[in-house]
């Protein structure tokens, strides 16, 4: 199995960059994901990265993966008030599809 | 293209009762996974169905059971409800690729 840990809370000002961090224990994770959850809603897939990659960029989102330290981060450029939500990182083992989630980081964007 | 749909949206039951939740996967997806998300926590994997069989199961008691139909839709059944079963139940669908797309969830309250 895998444990995934995240910091609980992050507050930024509108227009700044946000960096949300995650550490995971299982080095055999094939894919690592970032999901966004708004109040009372389901999970929205933001992006994912394959374990043989170091970085992936998708518009305002940049994912960095440090396999040596088992550390994953999500950078949101030009953070907007609509980015306020809970962000979950998740991992999936090779050959398995069960996602193991962290406890989530609440991002608060102040105008 | 409809995404993942779940019904009902909300449900209130009393301890000891049984409940059935339903999920229709995204078009073209043949795999359905169920997750339980307690308040303030990340989702926990319950089980996954593929080709009408339970392919993988998380650490949940036998009170939790499921079914997948030939059209790939799925049901989650929980027997002998406990107060601790109160949670948001999320369904996710996938196909051969690495991504799982989530529905809006069913909020179950057990009194």
Q: How far does B38 lie from chain A, in Å, by closest CA?
A: 10
Which residue, A11, A22, A25, is CA-closest to A49? A22
Considering only CB atoms, A42 lies closest to which of B42, B45, B105, namely B105
pLDDT in tens, chain A (111 residues): 568 899 899 999 999 999 999 998 876 678 899 999 998 889 999 999 998 889 999 999 999 999 889 899 999 999 999 999 999 999 987 555 789 999 999 999 999
Return d(Cα A54, Cα A11) in angstroms, integer. 26
Cα B2–Cα B5–Cα B8 angle in degrees, nearest 5: 150
CB contact, 8 Å: A9 with chain B?
no
Return d(Cα B52, Cα B21) in angstroms, integer. 16
Please write the tens of the pLDDT for every residue from B25-68: 999 999 999 999 999 999 999 999 999 999 999 999 999 999 99
pLDDT on residue A94: 58
What's the mean per-residue pLDDT of chain B?
Answer: 95
Q: Which residues of B85-109 are buried (b: 16+ CB within 10 A; e: fewer)?
A: bbbbbbbbbbeeeeebbbbbbbbbe
Residue B104, pLDDT > 60, answer yes
Which residue, B37, B46, B73, is CA-closest to A41? B37
Which residue, A72, A101, A49, is CA-closest to B43? A101
pLDDT on residue B98: 84
Cα A58 from chain centroid? 13
Which residue, A111, A110, A107, is CA-closest to A6? A107
Nearest CA in chain B to A30: B98
pLDDT on residue B97: 80
pLDDT on residue A27: 67
């Amino acid at each position: 199995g895998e444990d995934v840990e995240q910091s609980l809370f992050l507050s930024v000002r509108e227009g700044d960059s946000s960096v949300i961090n995650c550490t995971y224990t299982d080095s055999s994770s094939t894919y690592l994901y970032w999901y966004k959850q708004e109040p009372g809603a389901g999970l929205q897939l933001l992006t994912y990265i394959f374990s043989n990659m170091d970085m992936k960029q998708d518009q305002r989102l940049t994912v960095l993966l440090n396999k040596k330290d088992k550390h994953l981060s999500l950078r949101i450029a030009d953070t907007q008030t609509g980015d306020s939500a809970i962000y979950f990182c998740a991992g999936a083992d090779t050959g398995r599809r069960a996602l193991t989630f962290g406890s989530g980081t609440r991002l608060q964007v102040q105008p | 293209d409809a995404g993942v749909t779940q019904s009902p949206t909300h449900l209130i039951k009393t301890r000891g009762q049984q409940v059935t939740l339903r999920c229709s996967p995204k078009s073209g997806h043949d795999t359905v996974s169920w997750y339980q998300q307690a308040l303030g926590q990340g989702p926990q994997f319950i089980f996954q169905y593929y080709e009408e069989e339970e392919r993988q199961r998380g650490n949940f008691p036998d009170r939790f059971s499921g079914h997948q139909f030939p059209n790939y839709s799925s049901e989650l059944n929980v027997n002998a409800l406990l107060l601790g079963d109160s949670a948001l139940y999320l369904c996710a669908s996938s196909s051969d690729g690495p991504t799982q797309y989530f529905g809006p969830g069913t909020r179950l309250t057990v009194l």
